[in-house]
Amino acid sequence: MIANMLITVLYLSLLLNSGLTINVLQSGDQVSQPGVKVILECSLGPGFSMQFLFMYWYRQNHYAAPIEYLLSELDFSEGHFQMSIDQDKNYFSLEIDEVFLNDSSIYYCVVEHVHCDSGYEAHFGQGTKLTVLEPGQAVKSPKVKVFRPSSKECRNPIDNEREKTLVCVASDFYPDHVSVYWQIIQLNVTSGVNVIRGENVTRGVTTDEAALRKDKVYTITSRLKVSAEDWYKPEWNFECIVRFFNGTHDTDYKDSISGEQGPDILTREKYLRITRQAKLSYSVLIIKSSVYGAFVAFLVWRLQSSAEKQNH
């Protein structure tokens, strides 16, 4: 008994003073028919034990909705929700009997411990998205289309400083279990082999926080901003990847466009050189005009002098 207490005190002391973040792992997204039993799983990463932690389940009904408390280890059941714990395996789960449409939510498992400095400290899992399919609504994969930048975009006098915006639209899918990624693929002209420039592009990418529902399907949009210099490279291919979870596995749906053969790009150096040449040409023109004006004035003076002599 004393040995177990010492082990508990030692573990809590190490946990509270380690400064480590508890790694909370959750099972992947799920799509279910109504009336089916669903189990959502949660576990801890290596190095931590549930024996000295408190466990909870929360859920968020839809994007931007408040996260609401659902269950804890103190009340193992509430309605058709039940919680089970296996401390030996660092595992606990949420069982939902006969899911209903309003059970569609993102579910978060949370572990909590008491920290000596900050008090209670909660660690959330990444969330498990559950969608209960509506009656008569079948799973439908997305249609993906990438649109070219507008020709009227960013009329900057220095072409090299322009930004071009590519738009990717994924539409007509159900349910809304999608993730959007961008890749830039460069065709090696010498070898003919495609080379991916980085696994996934993150710089310049803006994706809708949540898919928009219209009628019975969803649409999501993502935008990629690239420099005009990068866009005016026909050997570059800009690819939009939409990863869709159909209830059993993830499938990627893609579309892409190639860069354009653009005009001779006016770089900053070229712009400065042209302006210097223009200033020089303007100065020469002014000098020439001044000389010409002086010459005309001289001719007028000579003519006037000749006319006066003839009159005398």
Q: What CATH number should be reported for the domain holding residue 115?
A: 2.60.40.10
CB atoms within 10 A of CB 277: 10
Are 127 and 158 found together in one domain? no
In a domain, 263, yes or no: no
Predicted confidence at residue 16, as pLDDT, reads 39
Q: Judge whether 61 and 127 are in contact, CB under 8 Å.
A: no
Last residue of a domain, one of 132, 160, 193: 132
Return d(Cα 80, Cα 143) in angstroms, integer: 37
Within a domain: residue 252?
A: yes
Looking at the structure, tell me whether residues 149 and 75 fall in a common domain: no
Query: Residue 160's domain spans which residues?
Result: 143-258
Residues 124 and 8 in one domain: yes
CA-nearest of 68, 137, 75, 66 to 101 is 137
Give per-residue burial for 43-60: e unless 16+ CB within 10 Å, then b.
bbeeebebeebebbbbbb
Q: What is the pLDDT of residues 6-44, one digit of tens each?
A: 333 333 343 434 455 788 999 999 999 999 999 999 998
| Range with the largest mean pLDDT of 8-17, 135-144, 186-195, 296-305 | 135-144
What is residue 141's predicted lDDT score, i.e. its pLDDT?
A: 97
SS3 state at 200: coil
Q: Is residue 21 part of a domain?
A: yes
Q: What is the pLDDT of residues 77-111, one digit of tens each?
A: 888 999 998 877 788 899 999 999 999 999 999 99
Q: Report, in this order, helix, strand and coil percent for the chain, each rounded to 5.
A: 25, 40, 35
Q: Confirm if 267 and 160 have CB atoms less than 8 A apart.
A: yes
Claim to verify: residue 6 and residue 126 sit in the same structural domain = yes
**Residue 65 domain-assigned (yes or no):** yes
Does 38 lie in the same domain as 122?
A: yes
- Alpha-carbon distance of 195 to 244, in angstroms, equals 25
Q: Between 161 and 44, where is the model more confident?
A: 44
Distances, alpha carbon 238 to alpha carbons 94, 220, 232, 270, 286, in Å? 42, 18, 12, 28, 50
* Residue 98, Cβ density class (10 Å: 0-12 exposed, 13-18 middle, ≥19 buried): exposed
- Whether 149 maps to a domain, the answer reads yes
b or e along 281-305 (b: 16 or more beta carbons within 10 Å of the residue's beta carbon)?
A: eeeeeeeeeeeeeeeeeeeeeeeee
- Residue 265 has a pLDDT of 54
> Exposed (0-12), middle (13-18) or buried (19+): which is 268, by Cβ within 10 Å?
exposed
Q: Identify the three-state secondary structure at position 276.
A: helix
**Judgement on whether residues 114 and 158 belong to the same structural domain of the protein:** no
Domain for residue 137, yes or no?
no
Same domain? For 306 and 185 the reply is no
Q: How far apart are CA 90 and CA 186, in angstroms?
A: 46
Q: Counting Cβ atoms within 10 Å, is residue 309 exposed (0-12), middle (13-18) or buried (19+)? A: exposed
Tell how strand 24-26 and strand 30-32 pair up. Answer: unpaired
Residue 223 CB partners (closer than 8 Å, separation 6+): 165, 166, 167, 168, 205, 206, 207
pLDDT band for position 4 (cuts 50, 70, 90)? very low
- Distance, in Å, from the CA atom of 182 to the CA atom of 109, rounded to the nearest integer, reads 30
Into how many domains does the chain fold? 3
Query: Does 12 lie in the same domain as 72?
Result: yes
Shared domain check, 124 and 11: yes
Per-residue model confidence (pLDDT) at position 99? 96
Domain assignment of residue 238, yes or no:
yes
In this structure, the answer to whether residues 276 and 250 fall within a common structural domain is no
* 189 vs 181: CA distance, rounded Å: 25
In a domain, 138, yes or no: no
How does pLDDT run across 257-295, given as a tens digit for each residue?
A: 999 886 655 556 666 777 777 777 777 778 877 877 777
Query: Tokens for 276?
Result: 């210097």
One domain, residues 75 and 35: yes
Last residue within a domain, chosen from 230, 258, 286? 258
Contact residues for 166 (Cβ-Cβ < 8 A; gap 6+)? 146, 147, 148, 149, 223, 224, 225, 226, 238, 240, 257
Task: Determine the 3-state secondary structure of 213 from DSSP.
Answer: strand
Residue at a domain's end among 215, 238, 258: 258
Whether 114 and 57 map to the same domain: the answer is: yes
Helix ranges (DSSP H) in 60-124: none
